[in-house]
Amino acid sequence: AGRLFHPEDSIITVGGRTIGGKKLAIIAGPCSVESREQILEVAEKVKEAGAGFLRGGAFKPRTSPYSFQGLKEEGIELLKEARERTGLPIVVELMSPDKLDLFERDVDVIQIGARNMQNFELLKAVGKTTKPILLKRGLSATIEELLMAAEYIMAGGNENVILCERGIRTFETYTRNTLDLSAIPVIKKQSHLPVIVDPSHAAGIWWMVEPLAKAAVAVGADGLMIEVHNDPQNALSDGNQSIKPEKFQHLMESIREIAKLQ
């Protein structure tokens, strides 16, 4: 993952779109796929606002085993329908190697969640595929540990790794996590891999998503991952940090202003 071995920025190609390089990659969609109506509506709206990729969780890593765990295979089917309608490639979290065949066949970008950043068997398994892997920084992982986790995937032969800063645990409790903005310039210096920012899981609060997204773009992030829901108050996961499609549209407009200034 080090720049020493690969001085140029890596650009990952996904279904005719790119992550890394000059253009910002915008991944948006709900935390979890909840129903056909929900995912199709959100997919159409984020596409309209200018997102390049659709996200949606089907297998969810929830803190409580009694919380909604995702629609599983049915969620993937609904995401495929949303992809067919909008043309947006889909980004979905994989939690265990036993679902890898399904993900290789049906998903465009495989997400490895914060809680699995050091699940080395999972990292080795996705290292054997050629699919782009979106690797999220662990809850309390250092930048070095994140880069070493990427190394596990790359050592298996898969160099299509995208890193994601999504906030880390600190002593601050106002926000869900603390967005480590410094990680972006550090990673850009140390590594050739694209790095995107997820302000939704960092903040945990919907109204902070736009200002943090702007900051992320200003410090040089290659893209953003934003949770968007058509009815955040009734969302089955992460409603507090989810923004409505109208707010997402507004966020996209402010991002365009920052990108222009750069």
> What is the pattern of x (binds ligand PEP, CB under 6 A) and - over residues 75-104?
------------------------------
Residue with tokens 């040089």: 220
> What is the pattern of x (binds ligand PEP, CB under 6 A) and - over residues 111-140?
--xxx--------------------x----
Residues 6+ positions from 29 with CB-CB distance below 8 Å: 39, 42, 43, 46, 51, 54, 55, 56, 91, 227, 228
Alpha carbon distances (Å) from 46 to 33, 40, 146, 152? 14, 10, 29, 33
- From Mn ion, ligand PEP, none, interface partner of 113 (C-beta below 5 to 8 A by class): ligand PEP
d(CA 129, CA 250): 37
d(CA 208, CA 211): 6
d(CA 176, CA 208): 11
The interface with Mn ion within residues 202-241 (CB under 5 A) comprises 238
Smaller CB distance to ligand PEP: residue 26 or 256? 26
d(CA 20, CA 187): 13
In the set 45, 83, 99, 166, which binds ligand PEP (CB under 6 A)?
A: 166
- What sign results for the dihedral spanned by CA atoms 105, 45, 72, 26? positive
Q: Does 31 bind ligand PEP (CB under 6 A)?
A: yes
- From Mn ion, ligand PEP, none, interface partner of 61 (C-beta below 5 to 8 A by class): ligand PEP
Region of 45-53, 109-117, 180-188, 189-197 interacting with ligand PEP (CB under 6 A): 109-117
Q: Does 149 bind ligand PEP (CB under 6 A)?
A: no
Smaller CB distance to Mn ion: residue 55 or 192? 55
* 243 DSSP assignment: B
Q: Does 57 bind ligand PEP (CB under 6 A)?
A: yes
Region of 107-115, 122-130, 181-189, 242-250 interacting with ligand PEP (CB under 6 A): 107-115
The answer to whether the CB of 197 falls within 8 A of the CB of 165 is yes
Region of 5-13, 25-33, 69-77, 180-188 interacting with Mn ion (CB under 5 A): 25-33
Q: By CB under 5 A, name the binding residues for Mn ion.
A: 31, 238
